[in-house]
Homo-oligomer: A and B are copies of this chain.
């Protein structure tokens, strides 16, 4: 015996399919009708088929959140915020992961045309014209949690990296650190580029020259550790053979928390104390920042708020597809912990 359908319920209740559908959707019906249908539904254990329903009504009541890397704790913060907003609005949230390649992101956005969900929040690492084009042409509303050109004409919620960088640099400066190094992620990514520029500007504004800057191969812990190694090796070498503390920076800023934690491991391996010898600042202020040891001072780029606002933007656009695109930028704060003096 296969799954009951609305027709089966109708038969069991001795009413028409239309009536069944009506009581199921809370449309007006007599008490007796409601009673009979609900009894039949109970009896048969009927559950409506969402595919059929969404085919007819043109909505799935599902929303998709696409992130590049589930291993990056900044996304769990964002995910929680998005989940909260969309579930309050009666949507299911499904999460998919795209990986670092822009082509996969384009494929995902194009794929939305298949009708998987009513909307998409995407946080792309890399952005190119193809991706922007696919977003503009997407069948369903898309909001970008990240930075795309205003000319793209899409809803976005982004962080203010430059200001975040300024917070970091000035905090270090206030603590008397001036030999500041920077470990970025890949500079061909959107956040990587933004942070590179933000860091350069912040340093210039404070009349500082970076003691070194290295680019990790991605935004992961392993890459951070490797970048830390490279950073410290280079510095030791550049000092004409001097080794160890003398040549080391007295502070390093990392483009995200995973990188920062990787760097702290490398510092520890070289017996450099954090924050006594080297202060470390991360970015994202993810759960990892408080879990790391020492707890990591981190620039809070507002990932929770970005998630929340992105979700709200998406819901608003689903409601009214003609509204003019908004570009929200959320302001950073600094969460000071023990990795800085």
Contacts and interface: CB of A to CB of B under 8 A. Distances in A.
A93 interface: yes
A268 interface: yes
A284 interface: no
Query: Chain A interface mostly helix, strand, loop or mixed?
Result: helix
Contact of A291 (B51, B54, B95, B261): B261
A51 B221 CA distance: 40
Interface string A54-71: 110000101000000011
A54 B116 CA distance: 11
Contact of A3 (B60, B94, B139): B139
B60 A51 contact: yes
Interface string A25-44: 00000000000000000000
A93 B70 CA distance: 13
A162 interface: no
B50 A114 contact: yes
Interface in A247-292: 258, 261-262, 264-265, 268, 287-288, 290-292
B49 A52 contact: no
A177 to B, nearest CB: 21
Interface in A102-120: 110-111, 113-116
Interface stretch (A75-83, A122-130, A147-155, A235-243): A75-83
A113 to B, nearest CB: 4
A47 interface: yes
Query: How many copies, total?
Result: 2
Contact of A71 (B76, B116, B139): B76
Given A94-B96, A114-B50, A292 B293 contact: yes
A311 to B, nearest CB: 15
A70 B80 contact: yes
Given A54-B51, A80-B70, A96-B95, A221 B290 contact: yes
A264 B293 CA distance: 9
Contacts of A265: 291, 293, 295
A92 interface: yes
A260 to B, nearest CB: 11
A312 B50 CA distance: 26
Contact of A50 (B70, B116, B287, B295): B116
A338 B99 CA distance: 32
A52 B55 CA distance: 6
Contacts of A51: 51, 54-55, 60, 114-115
A94 B97 contact: no
A48 interface: yes
A292 B292 contact: yes
A268 B274 CA distance: 14
A221 B291 contact: yes
A68 to B, nearest CB: 13
A107 to B, nearest CB: 11
Contacts of A110: 47
18 contacts: A3-B139, A47-B111, A49-B115, A50-B114, A50-B115, A51-B54, A51-B114, A51-B115, A52-B115, A70-B76, A71-B73, A92-B96, A92-B116, A94-B96, A258-B291, A262-B291, A265-B293, A288-B291
